[in-house]
Structure 1
């Protein structure tokens, strides 16, 4: 008999932005959230069946791609994105009760966190050592244990680890946001909503015009690309895979058509999933690429084939 509730793994410890994202994705669903040591462990738990899903950061509005997640999706055993959410990123300087700002000699945070608080540290704590940790919450736990003087972490981490906020909102970029995705083993995608995103990994030949030819497949079908970035193939310097996000769902005729074209070109390394967009709206579909346009065109070709 299966579990009554699903187990979702996420980058721990408790108090991370990833936990916040996982709770947003779980909403009212029956889910047990399980913090683990690394993103790779969380995704391997899904692959092995120890977890039903994993929540992982995909990209930051400040630092861009989260390499470990994107490399796992490109090089690891296949997983599917089934949902996404956006989490506002706010950093507080957390310390043990009674700590003064002048006494702080070390500040811990995840590398992406340090990137967002670096200017504040340079201005306010220029003598403090920047210590990289596996997560911002791990830095807060280290402060509670006495291993660090302070941590830059989500406000919720202060409550979880009994820390005080010395300075609130020390991030350099206001309105910073991180996009998180929910990953499951391969299966049927969520039903289309009319406002969906499809994620792909492309493998493109290294010769003039090869990437342009592949991208033209999207343009010729009226599909809007919302993200295109490269990651190394790990085979040879200068050879890359391309991670693509596009408006639309695999159930849409235009998207199904472009995916089939990419398969024919042997340019599709992986289809990562089609799932509801968490923010924003799809660009309106070009008139020539709507389901009605596809159906009308197919019907006309059929009539000609029959001799009508």
Structure 2
């Protein structure tokens, strides 16, 4: 049985994602995203489950920075979870004056809190589960948590299914040390981080390598490089798998232009197949390469 670390404590959305991605493995909560990545790098865990982006609040910067720095890790699977919260209390009568949760969670239930708990002051906690622990300890009156939290903490459910945006989702990654990759399925996602030169048009040049090969982007984010104000890394997700000729050709072209770190190729959680532009199918790349090889051998004019 493998040991899989996840951004905890127990009772978070990340635990729910870990149950989906590594149900047969031993799941171990750790306090921070950095700690989850660190135990894999040290060989103390076989993998880590962490959030990478939310459809309302955007990218999870701690995950992006953690993947760009230190020893490489690669994503081998992903999960998409609908983000619906529970509001937990100790069940005591009296006014609710403080509501604690992770900043992303508070942002996603702001309108609900204004409507149902207008006197409550939002308080930032390190995670949704940490907020539940604080309520249990009597530090705050209520916590906005993942629905799974009630399995771990003996609290009263004041409300559940809470979300300002009903179709909000968070994407989670299962990360491992570099090794054998999942096989391509035709509905895959490849992720990289590229440190583009700080000059006019450098990002456009990188994106053009994908566009010229008919590769569709699914996400792009920019993060500053620590200690180099004004210099950015670009986190890019796109359709396809590194095993495909068209994706391999694009990665080689990007690597010629700048430093690129490969972050993984794995099946998409939504099973959406890659969009293939005319002339950009894998067979087109193979046939073109075969033609060039034939020309070099003098077999074709």
Give, in whole Å, the separation in 2 of the partners of 1:303 and 1:130: 68
Give the TM-score of the pair, scaled to structure 1: 0.93
1:16 matches 2:7: no
1:239 matches 2:239: no
Q: Secondary structure at the match of 1:301?
A: helix
Aligned position for 1:296: 287
1:255 matches 2:247: yes
Q: Secondary structure at the match of 1:226?
A: strand
Q: Secondary structure at the match of 1:103?
A: coil
1:25 matches 2:25: no
Moved over 4 A (4+): none
Aligned position for 2:164: 172
Structure 2 CA distance for partners of 1:92 and 1:113, relative to 1, 3 Å: same
Give, in whole Å, the separation in 2 of the partners of 1:252 and 1:171: 39
The answer (yes or no) to whether the contact 1:287–1:293 under 8 Å persists in 2 is no
Aligned position for 1:197: 189
The answer (yes or no) to whether the contact 2:54–2:171 under 8 Å persists in 1 is yes
Deviations 1:81-103 (A, max 9, x none): 11100011111211113x24x51
Deviations 1:167-223 (A, max 9, x none): 223321111110000011111211111111000001111211111111110011111
Aligned position for 2:275: 284
1:147 matches 2:139: yes
The answer (yes or no) to whether the contact 2:215–2:275 under 8 Å persists in 1 is no
Aligned position for 1:119: 111
1:216 matches 2:208: yes
Give, in whole Å, the separation in 2 of the partners of 1:72 and 1:247: 23
- How many angstroms does 1:280 deviate by? 4.3
The answer (yes or no) to whether the contact 2:239–2:275 under 8 Å persists in 1 is no
Q: Which runs of 5+ in 1 are unaligned?
A: none
Q: Which runs of 5+ in 2 are unaligned?
A: none
Give, in whole Å, the separation in 1 of the partners of 2:70 and 2:122: 31
Deviations 1:240-280 (A, max 9, x none): 11000010000000110011111111x23311011111114
- Residue number among 73, 85, 100 corresponding to 1:108 in the alignment: 100
The answer (yes or no) to whether the contact 2:18–2:49 under 8 Å persists in 1 is yes
The answer (yes or no) to whether the contact 2:254–2:260 under 8 Å persists in 1 is no
1:87 matches 2:81: yes
Deviations 1:59-90 (A, max 9, x none): 00110001111110112321111110001111
The answer (yes or no) to whether the contact 1:82–1:184 under 8 Å persists in 2 is yes
Deviations 1:86-136 (A, max 9, x none): 011111211113x24x51111110111011112222233233221111110
Aligned position for 1:38: 32
Give, in whole Å, the separation in 2 of the partners of 1:303 and 1:155: 61
Give the TM-score of the pair, scaled to structure 2: 0.95
- Residue number among 33, 48, 63 corresponding to 1:54 in the alignment: 48
Give, in whole Å, the separation in 2 of the partners of 1:251 and 1:285: 16
Q: Secondary structure at the match of 1:161?
A: coil
Deviations 1:30-58 (A, max 9, x none): x0000111111111000001110000000
The answer (yes or no) to whether the contact 1:259–1:268 under 8 Å persists in 2 is no
The answer (yes or no) to whether the contact 1:201–1:269 under 8 Å persists in 2 is yes
